[in-house]
Structure 1
């Protein structure tokens, strides 16, 4: 057997494997003899058919199987021995393989395309800059949250005369008769120039307006209509008011406190306000951590030279997902895939260089944290703590072990980012929630 590597560029190469008869024939002969001992062929007692007949019936398929086994093992061992990182899987040159004459050929040659990256050199130092943001929790944000909760848990009333932020329920009709539908119209979505026509009206009132101009947000979601119906909302319409719906804010009392946080968790308006502030702070902390982590990743990627074999990877992705994605879809999604792959390579290299490892105990703790958050969102956190070990085991054993491996990778990434924070130039900056939202949008 002869295996050779031909590097065609900085990140793509071909592997050629040559086999002669001595490389595979002993295994083929042994397998054919084993078939002969077990084969049940018409006209012969089991195991008594002539070797020549067994060879004629099964020889070619045995040859193909044995050569494929030899190729798989040899290629894997060869790749493991290289000092570069293979990406994806080797791609066989199908056209050349299809020309093989399995019945008469004795010597074989197989070629594979591979994509790889050489050793990645990373310098974690103060030349790498990133910003870590913390959100400032001001009183206005807390007050807005309290008002939202008061509205959310408020009661519905049907007043006689409409006010700003009411919902008018009635019949929307095109003046030319081409469209008619009964729906709920939120006055909070009406443009300020048109809002006056909808305030101070009673049941039975008929208002003429142009929805496409008066409604300041997307018509489909505002009126709860289909995109096909949106296309018909042009020109002048009338709205006949059948009812007025208003949500009266809930009072800041024990009933509201218990509805929001559970019985007797808070017992005063001051405690309610502090609890909301704490919850908001925790939620924004989670968001800022995710955002800050991404910015650190971007800084590390930008400072590290990683040249991916784009052409090879696109071909491999298309073949690995054959029938599931098109060439156009691979092309469109490739930048996202390449970004994730680049970070994975850098993260693994930092972990290797600095002996950073994800331990089993770390995976268990991260899984518990994830499950607690899920149960907390459903309000069942406290009741489920006694069964935590069962939930952890069920999750980590699920998806044929992939859940465990994904959590292991996540834990290692967390440790790598924590390590990088200590090495790079990380600027701390406190921003308002509005500023943070701008950062997220950009």
Structure 2
């Protein structure tokens, strides 16, 4: 097995691997013997089909599979042995592979494109300055939260027209030349009128079921976070919204807020034993404070990411990225699709590279034991002895459940990693504290993001 490695000017490299018969023949022979052991054909006992027959039936396909597998493994081993840092996965030249003549005894040559990792050395030190936001709350915030609780547990009745106590279900679609845009946003949304911005309430109040109205999203809802809140869509969908959209009302429900009594308290916080409105308000104050602190930490981390991406303003191989995205996409992508999505993908890749360097440099990798201890805390067992068989069994049970849910497990690890990075920058960088109320914080976030 031989290799030819050549760097290009755009942070990519070309790696040719020459796979000789000695590299693949033993694996091909073993795979064909495996086919023979499993083969069942008329006139032969199971597992006794002549090897020559098996080879004639499966030889070429097994040869191709094994050679490609050997080539792929060899590329990763070469990069690892030579300590060549790369991003994403090396990509084989598919056209060359397609034209390969699969004849046993040949030496096969494949070319792989490799995206090289930029050389960066990010650090958390006093040269970096960030702002930590301390968000205060007032009784208006508590009142709003309380109102939402009363509406959530209130009585819903069908209504003909929208008023300021309505709950509206509607269809949101993207419009082009007066018609639904092909491939555009098409989403069923729920709108709680009382929590919407005043200008949005004015548009909706008085509208009836099946009535539609169009709006210019950039003019009427210039802020992406506001779009997220109003239309209950993801921040990515909100940021990509441009042009005209149409809302068609599907149903309107009138809400009669629930009464403040012990029945409501038990429904909302069944484990708190709330006896009166003031106790409920105090719990709401604690929840509001917790929510504000969480949002402040998210903004702090966003500022960290933005600052580091600006400081290490390295480039990535765009043509390689386009090809990688296209080959991994479940649907066919146009050049316009790629150009539209590429900037977001590049920003995500930049942070991922910086994050990986920080994790390695400061030893922040999340281990299995870290996850177990985190779950222990979530289960309310933080003060219990780790060696207690009952405690250990409960933690292990939850760990086994969570680890089998790939997306949930990944999100858990990501959140734990984020917390470690936030703590790293809080403790090692210059951090200034700024106090403000929730409304001012939202305005600041809208300006920054």
**What TM-score results when the alignment is normalised by the length of structure 2?**
0.67
Assess if the C-alpha contact under 8 Å between 2:19 and 2:109 holds in 1.
Answer: yes
Spell out, residue by residue over 1:6-54, the C-alpha distance to the aligned partner (whole angstroms, 9 max, x if none): 1112421111012344444455466667767886677778747474x65
Spell out, residue by residue over 1:67-111, the C-alpha distance to the aligned partner (whole angstroms, 9 max, x if none): 123212211211222434322222111222222222488232111
One of 435, 439, 442 as aligned partner of 2:440: 435
Assess if the C-alpha contact under 8 Å between 2:33 and 2:51 holds in 1.
Answer: no
Assess if the C-alpha contact under 8 Å between 2:162 and 2:208 holds in 1.
Answer: no
Alignment of 1:349 with 2:357, yes or no, is yes
Compute the displacement of 1:135 (Å): 0.8
Assess if the C-alpha contact under 8 Å between 1:17 and 1:110 holds in 2.
Answer: yes
Write the distance in 2 (CA, Å) between the matches of 1:272 and 1:283.
16
Compute the displacement of 1:435 (Å): 0.3
Write the distance in 1 (CA, Å) between the matches of 2:83 and 2:122.
17
Structure 1 segment 402-441 matched on structure 2, within 5 A: 403-441=408-446
Q: Which residue of 1 aligns with 2:235?
A: none
Assess if the C-alpha contact under 8 Å between 2:2 and 2:18 holds in 1.
Answer: yes
Segments of structure 1 that go 5 or more residues without pairing to the other structure are 157-166, 170-182, 190-213, 232-244, 373-384
Write the distance in 2 (CA, Å) between the matches of 1:154 and 1:100.
69
Write the distance in 2 (CA, Å) between the matches of 1:408 and 1:323.
29
Alignment of 1:288 with 2:296, yes or no, is yes
Pair 100,427 (structure 1): closer, same or farther in 2 beyond 3 Å: same
Q: CA-atom RMSD, angstroms?
A: 4.1
Name the SS of the counterpart of 2:295 in structure 1: helix
Pair 56,392 (structure 1): closer, same or farther in 2 beyond 3 Å: closer
| Equivalences, count | 365
Pair 389,248 (structure 1): closer, same or farther in 2 beyond 3 Å: closer
Pair 272,103 (structure 1): closer, same or farther in 2 beyond 3 Å: closer
Higher radius of gyration, 1 or 2: 1
Q: Which residue of 2 aligns with 1:117?
A: 117
Structure 1 segment 155-174 matched on structure 2, within 5 A: none
Structure 1 segment 335-414 matched on structure 2, within 5 A: 335-367=343-375, 389=395, 392-393=398-399, 395-399=401-405, 401=406, 403-414=408-419
Compute the displacement of 1:281 (Å): 1.1
Pair 409,395 (structure 1): closer, same or farther in 2 beyond 3 Å: same
Write the distance in 1 (CA, Å) between the matches of 2:421 and 2:340.
30
Alignment of 1:68 with 2:52, yes or no, is no
Spell out, residue by residue over 1:155-199, the C-alpha distance to the aligned partner (whole angstroms, 9 max, x if none): 89xxxxxxxxxx996xxxxxxxxxxxxx1342689xxxxxxxxxx
One of 263, 280, 283 as aligned partner of 1:275: 283
Q: Which residue of 1 aligns with 2:388?
A: none
**What TM-score results when the alignment is normalised by the length of structure 1?**
0.68
Assess if the C-alpha contact under 8 Å between 1:127 and 1:424 holds in 2.
Answer: yes
Compute the displacement of 1:388 (Å): 6.9
Q: Which residue of 2 aligns with 1:307?
A: 315
Segments of structure 2 that go 5 or more residues without pairing to the other structure are 167-198, 215-253, 381-390
